[in-house]
Amino acid sequence: MMQPIVLGIETSCDETAIGIVRGRTLLANVIASSVEEHARFGGVVPEIASRAHLEAMLPSIQRAVTDAKISLKDIDAIAVTAGPGLVGALLVGVASASGLAQGLGRPLYGVNHLAAHVSVEYLTHDKPTDPTIALLVSGGHSSLLQVDDITGSITKLGATMDDAAGEAFDKIARLLALGFPGGPAIDREAQGGSPTAIDFPRGLTTSQDWQSRPYEFSFSGLKTAVARYLENTPRFVRADVAASFQEAVVDVLLLKALAACKSTGINSLVIAGGVAANSRLRAVAADRCEKAGVQLRIPAAGLCTDNGAMVAALGSLMLSSGRPATHGAFDADSSLKVEQVNL
Ligand code: KG4
Ligand code: ZN
């Protein structure tokens, strides 16, 4: 039997993204970003994002259907990001998805953006990858999760107490005049620098922290340390600052993720979210996981930042595991908790 086709819609931030999968096979992944319209403000402006989603929605759906070489009526189910994210931006996606699902007479799954980030990795594996520890690092969220079943059983082990990892990259990039979004810019700049040039602090890694909050993150002290270093060092080497800052983030993320693997006895780690595209994080993770005997899975770099394929992937997994669709009209939930996989 042919596997069902699922179309996923993602509009939680500044990407209007449509993905189409058949079972676990990716058929289309269309991304229209309004990032350039936000760049001069140094961050995403919600009103601009909502308007851009409205304009990009129909052309993006049309392009995805064309890329997938299907027609709209071939779609078996629709999935949409219901939260967390910018409420106005989410609403455009939810309204579009509801209309499409009703028009086609197909089930609709309102799904969690964070779980979707993790589930995109499942597109590349035939066998279930549960249980796993997941390190979810994006612009809005950073948490360590125990995933027993990606379609319904996610436990939060810890999260950031202040900035998200991606947010830290974005803020340091601004200090270094590297533009927005900062992650890719720091990643590039760091290639020419030394990760050991400056010994920046690793947040929440004292022995006291390991006792009381082993899986929490904090990046605000690191941000202050970088700012102070720049103030006190007029002739700083930008590439060294970028590489040393990046190293501090990567080090602490992996220390905590591998500690979670060890204490739960789960020898599997998925790293997901925009920061998982970071080349240094990918390299150091590969090295440390191999040494620790932990199986590492990271989505292809292009599927780490926001996309529709991840939403379609989670919808497809929900459908194949017999999870009920979302009934009736539903609102977007801008602060949807990571443990709640669907509405
Ligand atoms: O997952 P994502 O696309 O959106 C959210 O759900 O937040 O993550 C965006 C974040 C941004 O903060 C961006 O700077 C960061 O991911 N990012 C990176 C890299 N590519 C994107 N951070 C570090 N290195 C990268 N190569
Ligand atoms: Zn995201």
Q: How high is the pLDDT of residue 1?
A: 66
Tokens encoding 261: 């693997």
pLDDT tens profile 148-179: 999 999 999 999 999 999 999 999 999 999 98
8-state DSSP, 296: E
Q: Is the pLDDT of residue 194 over 80?
A: yes
**pLDDT average, residue stretch 38-49:** 87
Q: How high is the pLDDT of residue 263?
A: 97
pLDDT tens profile 258-298: 999 999 999 999 999 999 999 999 999 999 999 999 999 99
Tokens encoding 302: 């292009």
Most ligand 1 atoms within 8 A of CB, residue of 38, 112, 138, 142 to mutate: 138
Q: Is the pLDDT of residue 44 over 80?
A: yes
Q: Is 162 exposed, middle or buried (0-12, 13-18, 19+ CB in 10 A)?
A: middle
Q: Tell me the CA–centroid distance for residue 290 and ligand 1, in Å.
A: 25
Residue found under tokens 């790293």 = 271
Ligand nearest to the CA of 282: 1
Q: How far is CA 190 from CA 21, 45, 92, in A?
A: 35, 28, 37
- What sign for the dihedral angle of Cα 206, 210, 212, 214? positive
Q: How high is the pLDDT of residue 125?
A: 75
Angstrom distance (rounded) from CA 330 to CA 154? 22
pLDDT tens profile 238-265: 999 999 999 999 999 999 999 999 999 9
Share of the chain above pLDDT 90, in %: 91
Mean pLDDT lowest among 43-47, 71-75, 146-150, 236-240: 43-47
**AA letter at 275:** V
User: Helix (H, G, I), strand (E, B), or coil: what is residue 34?
Assistant: coil
Q: How high is the pLDDT of residue 268?
A: 97
Ligand nearest to the CA of 142: 1
Backbone angles phi, psi at 243, to 5 degrees: -70, -40
Most ligand 1 atoms within 8 A of CB, residue of 90, 249, 275 to mutate: 275
Ligand nearest to the CA of 304: 1
Q: Tell me the CA–centroid distance for residue 278 and ligand 1, in Å.
A: 8
Q: Tell me the CA–centroid distance for residue 138 and ligand 1, in Å.
A: 5
- Other residues' Cβ atoms within 10 Å of the Cβ of residue 56: 22
User: Helix (H, G, I), strand (E, B), or coil: what is residue 110?
Assistant: strand
Q: How high is the pLDDT of residue 220?
A: 96
pTM greater than 0.75 (yes/no): yes
Q: How high is the pLDDT of residue 129?
A: 75
What pairs with residue 77 in β-bridges?
6
Q: Is 306 annotated as a binding residue?
A: yes
**pLDDT average, residue stretch 106-120:** 97
Q: Is 209 annotated as a binding residue?
A: no
Backbone angles phi, psi at 203, to 5 degrees: -65, 140
Q: Is 117 annotated as a binding residue?
A: yes
Q: Is the pLDDT of residue 128 over 70?
A: no
Q: Is the pLDDT of residue 127 over 90?
A: no
For 91-94, the CB contacts below 8 A with 24+ separation are: 91/50, 91/331, 91/332, 92/11, 92/50, 92/53, 92/54, 92/57, 93/9, 93/10, 93/11, 93/12, 93/53, 93/57, 93/332, 94/330, 94/331, 94/332
Ramachandran quadrant class, 2 (left: phi over 0; alpha: psi -120 to 50; beta: rest):
beta
Residue 329: pLDDT band (50, 70, 90) is: confident
| Strand blocks (E) in 206-277 | 268-272
Q: Tell me the CA–centroid distance for residue 98 and ligand 1, in Å.
A: 28
Q: Is the pLDDT of residue 126 over 70?
A: no
Q: Is 252 annotated as a binding residue?
A: no
